Chain A
């Protein structure tokens, strides 16, 4: 491998994939279930069931990559596909007994993984055992029986006649379950073909083949011997080494109960040599770090223009026929259709379309080798200079960045490495997430941002998710209404998972109760961790205390009211015009913003928008949502300003298109430009917001509700005076005597008593009105004391459309104790 090009790395022969396609069974006639809801299309159920297959990672199994729904219940399965099917080699080359034993071992290891997950292959045959150039084998298409719910969701039989165990026929092929032992029989047939080097009964017709298999039930002696004799291979049978013969004969036992399991077979002495070898390799405590995974390659391939559907059409696996050809001859009034030829496409199509990777190779040809080995911790200047300049896409819009294959290559390589080092690398992950989060790794990155620990799975397993509770009805009626446009969430498996997670959450949080909306809040986590319920649950469990502390109390009214008050105050702080207008028309957040904050917009926006919004939210604190709320109002500002109450409320009942990237930008900007204490709340989680006596504590809701401008803490004011005096305008409204005795450095004095509040005219305050008019972005802090009215003056400023007005909490006296002092005094104290 030469330094400088990465192609040999990418062109790994095992890093190839292909697609197969079939039709799910269409629902007949009645399309409504017993609850009055439409039946979920079978293809969606399949896609939901199939997800778990993506998590199977075993060197002897091809990895599943994607499941796509096409038109008319078409289902497309994308999976790793590399090597040559054994069926193509039989009778063409010799298989040495040692080689066959190794193949047997690897198939058994693969089957063991499947059976351990209660997945039955059911279609194991030499057509889908792929021999690699390394000599290893990989099973392909082993998930069809599972994803089709034991064949019940498709209209073709899921088995390979010749390889199918006799009991499958005897029990009826439509039985809704299957004993894994049938795979052992199939293995026996596969091995027999290899050992005899004969394609078995190739000349027989379908019915004859079935009869042939059933005839095995009558055989008294060795089935292998009978097969050998029927194929003129008795000699090979005799020459076969005993250990191999024994394996095949045990597999071909007609009684499933007497047929051995994978585990039992793997105990055979002839397999021990392989076990020892593997011990050295990948059975280490920690799996080796992969430079990139086939999932990533598939992702980049798609970004680089790869399109599975298009490829299937190109290669003739998807063909459209003119609709007129599928018209029935007769339709009865009850809807029974007669004389319609069965569409051959509804049968099983064994063809596999290999996906061409050339375009991707070309696209990545120039990428320098070091990109795959990013330096994370420190880079000396020498190295940094020698490196090619980093691929810079920071300035591009988010949607473009997410679709740029090269950028995503960089991001995925870097972030998976960082995730590998989690939790030690948490700070780096935060730093990188602030740029953007690569969609492929979002689930894991979110979990890291939420500090999810490695033991989350045990916790989840231990929780009772089954026992009936009074909340169940509500959860059950909410789930079929929750983000159902999404395939995963609308699938049967999605419903089951969401229900379990919600029940677990209710069980685990006895201080809280289920509020409608919690379903929507959970949806993004389930969507991102569809194959890892425990992690979805852990994320939800970490998310709620951080962002929605006490929102799900049985009586949450004070928490929500305080939150909405702070929202109103934030609007007043940043956008007085809007705040005044909304105030005038009595348009309160209570009327529209409860679903916003209770579900952090997950009930308001579609999933893809929530993901981008939460990408940023997760990096901020619990005040961020009100900044998002403000950013939504800002986007609709012009309409709101010219509308009355009814039009405003209508606007929010059916929220118009909101640009999420703009939301993120706007809310991040106000979030950064708002002193922290302006949004501080009594009811925020003390764990995340530590406070001292110079912060705002003890503010009662009744008081808060009267104040249209927010308060600011002494801590923040001190910080302004010391570090950013040019960003603040301090207005002391005490009487001039007190002001001249002692005042805050740089403050101006506008005695409360000197101002006439009759009209909202800023000039009424006299001399200093100019300072206010030209204040720009400065924060205006009103400082008073116990004797001054702390509502009228700031409200007056607000009504004069002065922005960023806030009131020092605790008044002037709060600053007396601060050392070193921020006060200046004229006479010695």
Chain B
């Protein structure tokens, strides 16, 4: 815990390079491995019996990109359809999203497409969306072809990778690819508490709208 809040409070007066903060949200059907991807990215771990997510979980991770330090504030959401009404609360104001599906389950790919559509309609217009075909280690039970997903991603302007939280394949890479694609202008450079506070306020003030979405 102590370490992590340490990272979170990285002083912004660092001499070299700038620091950018981005809000990133993970979406996708339940049990496709969203929490597992985050856990792998943030702590380098994998839990076979990863607990299901209720509501959402929040984690942060910082990566270095050339001369820029990119700090991700990650919202890992619950996958069950019913929690859908909460999702806008988390993706509102997000600069990036990873939509995850499970390559061994065709239905989860369908659900991923629905999420992409929703993001394109409702989220910030400049949001960077990545599509992750997770559980690549189970490729022998594949139900979603690589090419199919890639074509879909190209058509919709999404980043795309097949990942495995279990073997760590492409996990850091997909976050890195997102970081590269994100605009690193002044607006996103973290200036301590005030910016943080303001942005989060924007992100959280409209739970009412969220509640309406479920009908």
In the bound complex, what is the Cα–Cα distance between A591 and B204 (angstroms)? Answer: 9
A-chain residues with CB within 8 Å of residue B79 when the two chains form the complex = 516
In the bound complex, what is the Cα–Cα distance between A558 and B215 (angstroms)? Answer: 12
Q: Are A477 and B58 in contact (CB under 8 A)?
A: no
B-chain residues with CB within 8 Å of residue A647 when the two chains form the complex = 5, 8-9
> Most chain-B Cβ atoms within 10 A of its Cβ — which of A586, A588, A603?
A586
A477-B31, A517-B54 are known contacts. Are A588 and B5 too (CB-CB below 8 A)?
no
Q: Are B48 and A37 in contact (CB under 8 A)?
A: yes
Q: Are A557 and B200 in contact (CB under 8 A)?
A: no
B-chain residues with CB within 8 Å of residue A588 when the two chains form the complex = 204, 207
Which residues of chain B (26-58) have a CB below 8 Å from chain A?
A: 30-31, 48-58
Which residues of chain A (583-612) have a CB below 8 Å from chain B?
A: 585-586, 588, 590-592, 594-595, 598-599, 603
Q: Quick one: which of A34, A554, A561, A643 contacts B5, CB cutoff 8 A?
A: A643
A515-B80, A645-B197, A645-B200 are known contacts. Are A650 and B52 too (CB-CB below 8 A)?
no
Say yes or no for A101: interface residue by CB 8 A criterion.
Answer: no
B113-121, B122-130, B134-142 - interface stretch? B134-142
Which residues of chain B (77-93) have a CB below 8 Å from chain A?
A: 78-80, 82-83, 85-86, 89
Q: Quick one: which of B8, B51, B104, B214 contacts A603, CB cutoff 8 A?
A: B51
Q: Quick one: which of A516, A558, A649 contacts B78, CB cutoff 8 A?
A: A516
A481-B51, A585-B197, A643-B5 are known contacts. Are A650 and B59 too (CB-CB below 8 A)?
yes
**Minimal Cβ-Cβ distance residue in A for B107:** A473
> Interface SS of chain B: helix, strand, loop or mixed?
mixed
Q: Quick one: which of B48, B54, B197 contacts A599, CB cutoff 8 A?
A: B54
In the bound complex, what is the Cα–Cα distance between A33 and B12 (angstroms)? Answer: 48
Q: Are A477 and B196 in contact (CB under 8 A)?
A: no
B-chain residues with CB within 8 Å of residue A598 when the two chains form the complex = 54-55
Q: Are A591 and B58 in contact (CB under 8 A)?
A: yes
In whole Å, how far is A92's beta carbon from the nearest beta carbon of chain B? 55
Q: Quick one: which of A36, A474, A557, A650 contacts B211, CB cutoff 8 A?
A: A557
A-chain residues with CB within 8 Å of residue B89 when the two chains form the complex = 590
In whole Å, how far is B87's beta carbon from the nearest beta carbon of chain A? 13
In the bound complex, what is the Cα–Cα distance between A603 and B56 (angstroms)? Answer: 13
Q: Are A557 and B52 in contact (CB under 8 A)?
A: no
Q: Are B60 and A650 in contact (CB under 8 A)?
A: yes
In whole Å, how far is B214's beta carbon from the nearest beta carbon of chain A? 5
Q: Are B215 and A594 in contact (CB under 8 A)?
A: no
B-chain residues with CB within 8 Å of residue A474 when the two chains form the complex = 30, 80
In whole Å, how far is B185's beta carbon from the nearest beta carbon of chain A? 22
In the bound complex, what is the Cα–Cα distance between A517 and B197 (angstroms)? Answer: 31
Say yes or no for A513: interface residue by CB 8 A criterion.
Answer: yes
In whole Å, how far is B147's beta carbon from the nearest beta carbon of chain A? 23
Say yes or no for A160: interface residue by CB 8 A criterion.
Answer: no
In the bound complex, what is the Cα–Cα distance between A513 and B81 (angstroms)? Answer: 12
In the bound complex, what is the Cα–Cα distance between A645 and B8 (angstroms)? Answer: 11
A36-B135, A585-B197, A590-B89 are known contacts. Are A561 and B58 too (CB-CB below 8 A)?
no
Say yes or no for A38: interface residue by CB 8 A criterion.
Answer: yes
In whole Å, how far is A601's beta carbon from the nearest beta carbon of chain B? 11
B-chain residues with CB within 8 Å of residue A482 when the two chains form the complex = 51-52
A595-B55, A603-B54, A651-B1 are known contacts. Are A513 and B82 too (CB-CB below 8 A)?
yes
**Minimal Cβ-Cβ distance residue in B for A655:** B1
Say yes or no for A135: interface residue by CB 8 A criterion.
Answer: no
> Most chain-A Cβ atoms within 10 A of its Cβ — which of B82, B85, B138?
B82
In the bound complex, what is the Cα–Cα distance between A644 and B166 (angstroms)? Answer: 33
A591-B204, A595-B55, A645-B200 are known contacts. Are A557 and B166 too (CB-CB below 8 A)?
no
Q: Are B31 and A650 in contact (CB under 8 A)?
A: no
CB-based closest 3 A-B pairs: A594-B55, A477-B31, A595-B54
Q: Which residues of B contact A (CB under 8 A)?
A: 1, 4-5, 8-9, 30-31, 48-60, 73, 78-80, 82-83, 85-86, 89, 104, 135, 137-138, 141, 166, 193, 196-197, 200-201, 204-205, 207, 211, 214-215
**Residue contacts A-B, CB under 8 angstroms, 5 given:** A36-B104, A37-B49, A485-B49, A490-B49, A519-B52
